[in-house]
Structure 1
């Protein structure tokens, strides 16, 4: 396994500072993933001071068993679920929305991070530490998860997407796509992928994952079980009705203490701002931080006087009515980004949660909310990050002397430098000389025209600009003609760029994993899963 470590600075400043333990960020979290003593402290808190407000472990195990049986998870996952029944068992938890055919590569890396940490700390603590992947099926942003990208053989970024089946603003887990939509998406993927020895098996597994009247959440869960079930990854959809039933007690508290909950978030928001950061999520004084299902839609609630109401004020509930829903019909309620961490803590004995940079930033708003409900924020661990570089791309980078950092920060300059180094005719230099000499000889003449007539002087200025424009036009045409000699090189350089920084974003945030599985099978995934990789917040370049 050939891999290099690289510090790719996060765009999210709070997450970057937290990972590297700067004082202003550290104060926003009770633990740090890099401190071994903090892990021991968290274990002690879970063993001795865990909140009484936690779900019945036996009921949770039953829910997990039923759901993982439904999605066809592997025996190793059921072993982990059984282990969770023990009071000694802890959990590493992370999650993501249910993306098409697994979503972008970062989703796979998050699962790998969860499995790596669970295995590491199970060994260190000599007790069960269960890897749990929380599918955010309750989210309703369909456009965020209904597509995937692959890089085609013709160096085009192909987008494959499915259309919204109803148009209703409701949870992804409540939207069956239908056989026709799945068939079309699979056909598009099939056409996008090159023919390899792995393709038939890959497509067959994806077809099985989309069988029946599958929602994106159903297909995502089945596919994740195929990829990670043998490593014991336990899956659960946040919108699963049986899970909602055991969340009732926490929903009750979120309703009854709603004003205090909002106040605790605002307190954290002030602290985040005082530390010099912009809050990642919007927190308001009247925000309920809960959704309700009504009229076929998932509606965010806020408090208005004595009522909880949606944005359009089409539905309203008293606190008593909302509390009654929490007790009798918890499936009608749903968490937002602020209440979901609390629900996760209510359900699982969370040793650590695996988060991306943006998630780390909005979890910084929840420290006081955890305390409000007698809980404590778990250890926040940054997910593993990778860029996959194929052998041919690596050879091309070596050939043209491009480093990974060059591609990230100075690709166009390096490309131009290479082209300039091939320019034996010194075209740019000679054109610049012609323009300079012409300007030097022509400008004094134009200036002298003022003595004849100001209008003639103005005409001379205009003429000077036009002649220089024509020289530059010829320069560009000559440059383009010269570059055609290097079409093959330019295509290779573009392949490097599209591999590492597609759509001007990190590879892991754009490309789906299926293209890499199609070309290389699953050995690269096994490398990342079975070799110990420290969860340290650094980026890794993996050479396929």
Structure 2
């Protein structure tokens, strides 16, 4: 495989906040703990060891072993579960929604990053143990975000009316989805393996959590990946003191709001990913996940008749902590409370909201993890690579807006010079003499000269655009080939990794892509990878 890198900022697909973070701009230093480098993990290990106790380890491992009941474990995952009890074991964590059949390609990239980073850390710090963890976002209730994936330009969708936490949803109806998907796959060996994975996961398991755990374990279990489900009463026992501070003292609301003000004061281009609420927990039951709100001392569950006094809600929390589900602001705290975690690996949007949380963590004396942007890839097959070469495109060219790409290449291949820069420069020189003359008369003549210069420059712009348009028509075949290629590489004018499902790459390659991708993904590379497959 041939690979090349491009800076994240140069792709045009990453926010200023994330690009500034990756470049370690000093103004952002107060919003994170340590920047992810192998050397910096030494201090992170020492800090987390001091802030994570053995009792929490025992609760964590006991809960995980119960969650894994009935799941066939690889030797490495079984070993990692045992290692988690020891004080020299630490986790590297990523998380994601329970998208149908893993959803977009970057789901794989996150987990590959997580596994590879643990291996790099083991080489640097051999006396410690590093365990890759995938956190299943089983409590999310946005069914419309996870009920589909794309395959060969078409949406494979699970059409159901569902409410409540998605992880608890029964897999009814997915047998029909399997039939539709199977027809599109064909009968190659790779297609049949994809069918096996889908059928076993979603037809033979009763809930979406169970299906997702089986599938991810099947794909990554041999690498020692540990899968955790936060929808667990034992784990939420550890969270009770923090839930109380959120609901009754509004702690995250105060500190995150203050951090957001500080962050946005640095740049108008820093867009806030999420805003805290006064209460950052949902009330969770089967078929129900609704916000808890307070009004005049009464705590209510939105869009229901459920009401609690403070004393009643405190009792409910002590007896049924599993009924309290964190939102996007509170979930990171939950993760860091229950795991001996050193680093969280996420996408640009995720890291943007993590950067809002540092002050909140500091106040609660919970170690803030290192934040690592997951790898981003553009996969280019042999046929596409030949087209790139034939059209004379560079790697940066591929990431241009489509109109900019077409204009740039038409100018390059045209036998007519479409660039009127020289004419504009010559025009400016002519007007310099007129300005000197105008200074000797009055201000009205000077203004007239300025207006005439603007008019003539605008006229040149119009002529340049008309000439470019004419050349586009003349070189229509070139434009079509450029457009088709870029649409293949950036479907829906978006990053490929956000549109394609791993099954499409699996079928295209005729083999599982995870092994090959793992050879080339480098979690600490800090650049966008373009990989020829």
The verdict on how the C-alpha distance between 1:376 and 1:423 changes in structure 2, with shifts beyond 3 A counting, is closer
Contact 1:249 1:327 in 2 (8 A): no
CA distance in 2, matches of 1:414, 1:238: 45
Match of 2:47 in 1: 45
Match of 1:139 in 2: 140
Contact 2:292 2:300 in 1 (8 A): yes
CA distance in 1, matches of 2:411, 2:264: 48
Contact 1:136 1:237 in 2 (8 A): yes
Deviations 1:429-485 (A, max 9, x none): xxxxxxxxxxxxxxxxxxxxxxxxxxxxxxxxxxxxxxxxxxxxxxx99987x788x
> Is 2:175 the partner of 1:175?
no
CA distance in 1, matches of 2:59, 2:217: 22
1:130 partner SS: strand
CA distance in 1, matches of 2:168, 2:148: 18
Match of 1:120 in 2: 120
CA distance in 2, matches of 1:218, 1:506: 30
Match of 2:324 in 1: 333
Contact 2:89 2:130 in 1 (8 A): yes
CA distance in 2, matches of 1:538, 1:341: 25
Match of 1:29 in 2: 32
CA distance in 1, matches of 2:521, 2:399: 27
Structure 2's unaligned 5+ residue stretches are 419-468
CA distance in 2, matches of 1:245, 1:534: 32
Deviations 1:173-199 (A, max 9, x none): 121131xx2122223323333553311
How far off is 1:318 after superposition? 2.9
The verdict on how the C-alpha distance between 1:421 and 1:293 changes in structure 2, with shifts beyond 3 A counting, is closer
2:197 partner SS: helix
The verdict on how the C-alpha distance between 1:207 and 1:523 changes in structure 2, with shifts beyond 3 A counting, is closer
Match of 2:284 in 1: 293
1:133-532 matches, within 5 Å, as 133-150=134-151, 152=152, 157-164=153-160, 166-168=161-163, 170-178=164-172, 181-193=173-185, 195-212=187-204, 214-239=206-231, 243-256=232-245, 258=247, 259=249, 260-276=251-267, 277-284=270-277, 287-293=278-284, 296-312=287-303, 314-415=305-406, 486=477, 492-522=481-511, 524-530=513-519
The verdict on how the C-alpha distance between 1:237 and 1:116 changes in structure 2, with shifts beyond 3 A counting, is same
Contact 2:290 2:301 in 1 (8 A): yes
Deviations 1:403-441 (A, max 9, x none): 3322321434544676788889x9x9xxxxxxxxxxxxx
Deviations 1:296-319 (A, max 9, x none): 320122333323334447433233
2:279 partner SS: strand
Contact 1:249 1:326 in 2 (8 A): no
For these two proteins, the number of residue pairs brought into alignment is: 478
CA distance in 2, matches of 1:23, 1:343: 29
How far off is 1:163 after superposition? 1.5
How far off is 1:55 after superposition? 5.6
CA distance in 2, matches of 1:538, 1:268: 28
Deviations 1:467-522 (A, max 9, x none): xxxxxxxxx99987x788x4xx6665444223321111111111111110112144
The verdict on how the C-alpha distance between 1:530 and 1:233 changes in structure 2, with shifts beyond 3 A counting, is farther
The verdict on how the C-alpha distance between 1:313 and 1:69 changes in structure 2, with shifts beyond 3 A counting, is closer
2:255 partner SS: helix
Contact 2:165 2:284 in 1 (8 A): no
How far off is 1:265 after superposition? 1.8
How far off is 1:63 after superposition? 2.0
How far off is 1:136 after superposition? 0.3
How far off is 1:72 after superposition? 3.7
1:409 partner SS: coil
- TM-score for the superposition, normalised by structure 1: 0.80
Q: CA RMSD in A?
A: 3.0
1:27 partner SS: helix
Instruction: Single out whichever of 207-216 and 336-345 deviates more from structure 2.
Output: 207-216
The verdict on how the C-alpha distance between 1:224 and 1:392 changes in structure 2, with shifts beyond 3 A counting, is same
- TM-score for the superposition, normalised by structure 2: 0.82
